[in-house]
Amino acid sequence: MSYLKSLPAETTLLQVFRAHPEPAKHLLAFHETLLRGDSPFTTGEREMIAAYVSGLNSCDYCHGIHTVTAEAFGVPAGLLEAAVADLDNAPVSDKLKPVLAYVGKLTRTPSRMTEADAEAVFAAGWDENALHDAVLVCALFNFMNRMVEGIGIKADAAYATESGERLAEVGYAGLAKFLDE
């Protein structure tokens, strides 16, 4: 239920963006750059990081939508739920597992990050650009999770599927075109 009384009780994030288009345009442009631009990570891997962080934060809205989007870009169904439940035993690749461990620690206990955490990512074959991108996706989705939860946005599984599929199809830049509707 939305805490913004000027919006419907069952408000979606897109409705919030339409009500506040100026910050939304910049936010969506940042999403587009970070999640669809050049990166050592595939689009699916970046959406996986977004969904994983959202799952750790118990933000069902973002976790649901970005899980669907990640799966549309090739992440196996069920992998995100398994990773959120138990990363050590989840069927995540050995190369990606340290990245998820890193963003997990950054989400849960940011003041406890160490050089050893970064070294684990590098030891898995990632470079500094990858670490930078992982940190930015993590930070962005911690921000988005707090925005969604702070405004009181909720959605059911059907909406998560619809929104996640739309996001996979049009990207974040495509969502910006919906702001004027």
Question: Helices then strands (H, E): number in the chain?
Answer: 9, 0
Q: What is the pLDDT of residue 68?
A: 98
Under 8 Å between Cβ of 160 and 65: yes
Q: Is the pLDDT of residue 181 over 90?
A: no
Sign of CA dihedral 124, 139, 109, 153: negative
Interval 19-38: pLDDT, tens: 999 999 999 999 999 999 99
CA–CA gap between residue 113 and residue 118 (Å, rounded): 8
Q: What is the pLDDT of residue 70?
A: 98
CA–CA gap between residue 57 and residue 60 (Å, rounded): 8
CA–CA gap between residue 137 and residue 153 (Å, rounded): 21
Interval 88-137: pLDDT, tens: 999 999 999 999 999 999 999 999 999 999 999 999 999 999 999 999 99
Q: Is the pTM of this model over 0.85?
A: yes
Residues listed for the chain = 181
Sign of CA dihedral 36, 79, 115, 62: positive
CA–CA gap between residue 149 and residue 89 (Å, rounded): 29
Please report the domains of the chain, with CATH numbers, ordered by start residue.
41-172 (1.20.1290.10)
Interval 50-60: pLDDT, tens: 999 999 999 99
Under 8 Å between Cβ of 164 and 67: yes
